[in-house]
Amino acid sequence: MDKWWGKGRVVMLAAAGVLVLASLSSPMWSIYLWCNSYPDGIGMSVYAYKPADPPDVADMDGGIDELDVLNHYIGMHPISPDLIIFKILPVGIVALGLLLIIAAFWKRRWFLYSVVGLNGLLGIYGASSFVYYIYSYGHDLDPNAAIHVDPFMPPLMGENQLAQFTTWSQFELGTMLLILGSALAFITAGIEWWIDRKNHRAMYSIT
């Protein structure tokens, strides 16, 4: 079993590292909005390192620029690529991906546990600051704006109604790859911990 696990551990951690790195290639989250005058919708996708047009913007009425133009009427700040999360998250993801690959081959238990710990921290940071930014974009509205709306929480998932717009928002492939990679890393660490505990027990039972 230990022999088999030696290979399994390498495969899982390397795969986790690759998946985490691959999460940069796709959006993490998207929001689409439709109304009568935007029949093909407008929308925005958020990558780990930038806000951007959705990948299918060519088939739509508009992307992030149009969203910003509309948002300015209600006093919402433009979606900024300069947010601190777009600096920390990509660095964190690249570092995590590489560290996971290193952990695959450099078989130190403390190192694996540290990397998985870092992974957890990064996950908590990413998720909480994402929710925080979404919240503050919907709440930190310029009181001098032409159209006054009550502060609102932009919908994170599924179909919703926002003024004249039907919205659809969802987490995208990037988030899934990140979760998948992280899950692999956690499972690997879990198995490692479990085997370690079993071996310890076996040792103690011999003595």
Partner 1 sequence: MSRWKRQLVTVFSLLLAVTFAFTVAADAAPRRDRIKKSTTNKSTLAQDALKTYVAPGDFDDYYAFLSGGHSGQVYVYGLPSCRHIRTIPVFAKYPATGWGYDNHSKEMMGDRFDWGDIHHPALSETNGDYDGRWLFVHDCAHNRVARIGLDDFKTHQILGPVPNVMGNHASSYITANSEYVFMATRFSVPIPKGTYVPIKDYNAKFNGVLSFIHVDPKSGHMSLDKSFQIKMPPWNYDLADGGKLVSHDWAFFTCYNSEAEFIEGKPLEVVASQRDKDYIVAVNWKKAEKAVSEGKFEKIDGIRVLDPTKVDGIVYAMPTKKSPHGVDVTPDGEFIIGNGKLAPVVTVHSFKGMLKAIETKDFVGKDMGITVLNEKITRVAEVPLGLGPLHTTFDDKGFAYTSLFVESAVAKWRWQKGPDQWKMVDKVPIQYNIGHIAAPHGLTTKPRGEWVMSLNKLSKGTHLKVGPDQPESMQLIDLSGEKMRVIFQAFPEPEPHYACIVAADIIEPKVFEVYDQKNNPEKEFAVLKPEDARVVRKDKNTVEVFAAEIRSAIYPNVIEVMQGDKVIFHLTNMETMRDEIHGFGICEYNVIGVPTPGETQTYEFVADKAGVWPFYCVNFCSALHQEMQGYLLVKPRK
Catalog residues that contact partner 1 under the rule CB under 8 A.
Answer: 1, 4-5, 8, 12, 30, 32, 34-41, 43, 54, 56, 59-61, 73, 144-147, 163-164, 166, 168, 170-173, 176-177, 180, 183-184, 187
Number of Cβ atoms within 10 Å of the Cβ of 12:
20
Contacts of 49 (CB under 8 A, 6+ apart): 24, 86, 89, 90
Rank residues 54 and 126 by Cβ distance to partner 1 and give the closer one.
54
Shortest spacing between CB 66 and partner 1, in angstroms: 12
Rank residues 52 and 88 by Cβ distance to partner 1 and give the closer one.
52
**CA–CA separation, 44 and 31 (whole Å):** 5
Rank residues 77 and 87 by Cβ distance to partner 1 and give the closer one.
77
Among residues 46, 68, 43, the alpha carbon closest in space to that of 58 is found at 43
Shortest spacing between CB 84 and partner 1, in angstroms: 27
Shortest spacing between CB 28 and partner 1, in angstroms: 11
**Residue 81 structure tokens:** 């690529």
β partners of residue 161: 166
Rank residues 91 and 183 by Cβ distance to partner 1 and give the closer one.
183
Shortest spacing between CB 87 and partner 1, in angstroms: 26
**CA–CA separation, 97 and 99 (whole Å):** 6
Shortest spacing between CB 185 and partner 1, in angstroms: 12
Q: What is the layout of strands, in order, in the sheet containing 38-46?
A: 51-52, 38-46, 29-35, 165-171, 158-162
Contacts of 205 (CB under 8 A, 6+ apart): none
Rank residues 83 and 176 by Cβ distance to partner 1 and give the closer one.
176
